[in-house]
A and B are shown apart, each in its own frame.
Chain A
Amino acid sequence: MAGSTLHDGTTPLNAAPNQTSDDAHGYYTAGDPIADPVAPTGPIKDRWTNRKFENRLVNPANRRKLDIIIVGTGLAGGAAAATLGEAGYNVKSFCYQDSPRRAHSIAAQGGINAAKNYKEDGDSTFRLFYDTVKGGDYRSRESNVYRLAEVSANIIDQCVAQGVPFAREYGGLLDNRSFGGVQVSRTFYARGQTGQQLLIGAYQAMERQVAAGTVEQFTRHEMLELIVVDGKARGIIARDMVTGEIETHLADVVVLATGGYGNVFFLSTNAMGSNVTAAWRAHRKGAYMANPCYTQIHPTCIPVSGEHQSKLTLMSESLRNDGRIWVPKKKEDCTKDPRDIPEEDRDYYLERIYPSFGNLVPRDIASRAAKYMCDEGRGVGPMVGDFRRGVYLDFSDAIQRLGEDAVREKYDNLFDMYERITGENPYQVPMRIYPAVHYVMGGLWVDYHLQSNIPGLFVSGEANFSDHGANRLGASALMQGLADGYFVLPNTIRDYLADGPFEKVDESHEAVVEAKRAVQERIDKFLSINGTRSADSYHKELGNIMWEYCGMERTEDGLRKAIDMIRELKADFWTNLKVLGSADTLNQSLEKAGRVADFIELGELMCIDALNRRESCGGHFRAESQTDDGEALRHDEEFAYVAAWEWGGDSLEGGQPVLHKEDLIYTAIEMKQRSYK
């Protein structure tokens, strides 16, 4: 196929993959290949423009007759609620937090990319597109990524208009900085709290619509089931977390903007409440889960300090712009005060191995390098298991070069946070960092319109398998969330809604009654097992399995072992769980039980996906697939596809997930083996 011209005049630059290995044999069923049914055609730069024109419109008078449910109020959900509310639709917005403003987008620190080229340093839409595809190790759809790069500039305009206080230069114009993995300055930022400021912008826009009556907000509500009627998503079952009431909400279309599932690792930089339940319930109702094994491990987190740890804290990787990463050359130096280790005994390993990118290599490379240094016994900080799990991030050069005040202005909140958590002052002692799970590139499968394979179910933000391929570049998560919420979803959902309002569904419809009954049964089950272990203890055990065998480095044997362990854990969970309290009040143990149950099932699928993908790409590193000098090695001829998994029943009852492959064909960018040396 490569070299021949497609019907739209573009030329494919790679052949369709053909998988010859079959590591996951026996764990899955092969399904039919799939393709994006609404994939755009033509020159890449015109695809989105043309699509916006082709997509049908909904008459303003009809909009208020159309009900849209949006689950999640982060950047993707909050921005979509605001925009669709402004357009005049009837929006119902749900979040488990006590306010939409608390969604975990708020924790993003570093910044948001946009191809504005304000620095005149050679940036362009195409370069942002190119960097994102390359950074994602050629495992994303090029049309989607191009669209993302294209709307990135509009996002900045929109946010500034809303009053997002981005950093500015003395002349009052917007400032930019360069961010992990790229050589242009295209990142807009608000100190180390960019996510917070962008989220508050979206939140305020959404609250404005609440006041206007177009958006109805349901806080402390958790979606526990998707309602599918005649093959179409028509609503959700949600639990009011205060009263315990199980509520039915019906609509013409359902949007899931429920974030990522990094908490499957128990310890991650996600919020305590971040969970996969909404996405997993949809998956069990038929929605495909794509590339679940693509996990981003963030290199600059505060290391684990002990057993009690409930979450990990990220330090923005903007720190890598000015900090230098090193470990002692000699093992015996690892317990010394770092300030007493002379320059010649320090190994600035990233600068040594990757001279052109140095400390700014992509996240996965930086993370794995830190792991290897610690595995060699050259880690620093407290012992965790058999190793010290930490490397130094040293600002003494930057402080000398720029002065402490300049460093303080850039990073004070991060430095303060570090000092609060560790009790050490990073202006004087080098920080200690270690990788932690931060983001998942995998998620529910969607087409170019962000619609899943269930008609009427749209998925946006981190919850979809998204535009990041196998690895996400820094400052691109905020970009994608807002692109989906403000600009993409509102322009694609209308094409679906143009057929609506759909036939009215009643609460007494058999599918609705059945969904509600299933939710009730599950809750009753959690409360009646009456075993001995808390949901939290299962979560912790699952996390250990996942981190050990499905973390930074994955092997065939390890993954098989992990699958067995997870299955045992699952069986134990359903017979030995202990949830106290009742269903008709606020009950945090009950909430947790439901989330952990879904995480266990997801963890199993992640391991199967990782086992099947016998290649290393982006955030997925299979030890069996590396170059002689230990670099990740892709196998495009086998794996240039999206692995979309269909729920095939509970594995304890003999069910197996079904694998559908969507080939990735590039016409604008030629696949290259990544090299940051």
Chain B
Amino acid sequence: MAVSGLLFIAFVLAHMYGNLKAFGGEDSFNTYAEHLREIGEPMLPHEGALWIIRIGLIVALVVHVACAVILWRRAAAARPVQYAVKKNTGSSLSSRTMRWGGLTLLVFIVWHLLNFTIVKVNPSSGETGDPDHNPYALMVDSFDLWWMTVIYLIAMLALGMHLHHGTFSSLQTLGWTNTATSRARARAAGWVVAIVIAGGFALVPLSVLVGIIEK
């Protein structure tokens, strides 16, 4: 769980960085998108590296979800009778919402892939398949819709919370938080990763909505 999670953190960090290319304008963004498909050429075929990454992510996702399901089932079995009153005094909201937050992210990722990767639905025109091969336009069209931005912002909140606990938790699970200091650092890392990634991602749709980024 921790290892797959750390892989995801690396991925979303890179993904977020790529998204920020949107601030460089249409060309910069589209070139970046195209370049993603050309990494490793000619040693690798077109989109080869991308597929390796994708397969890696799919495997990580399977592992991550499988671990989550096991933990969830163990937790349910370990406490068949619930408390009438239960307070939480030492834990963050994010740590207690990992499962539902994770599910939210899973649903979001499905939509996100339909939106930008697989079907490439353009919600403003209803077009599919991005016939102009212009990811930038597809993105701007999407986030010009207020409700699309809201969906993405909610998802980024979920992602931020998931990362807030997930970062700390993965470091703890890997046994790297053996002292009060290292534990405090891991907690801080959780905040940094969550704010940087979720914030970085949120910048783009927000900028589109308010018109900083436009076609």
A and B touch in the complex (CB under 8 A): no
List chain B positions with a Cβ less than 8 A from chain A: none
Residue ranges of A at the interface with B (Cβ–Cβ < 8 Å): none
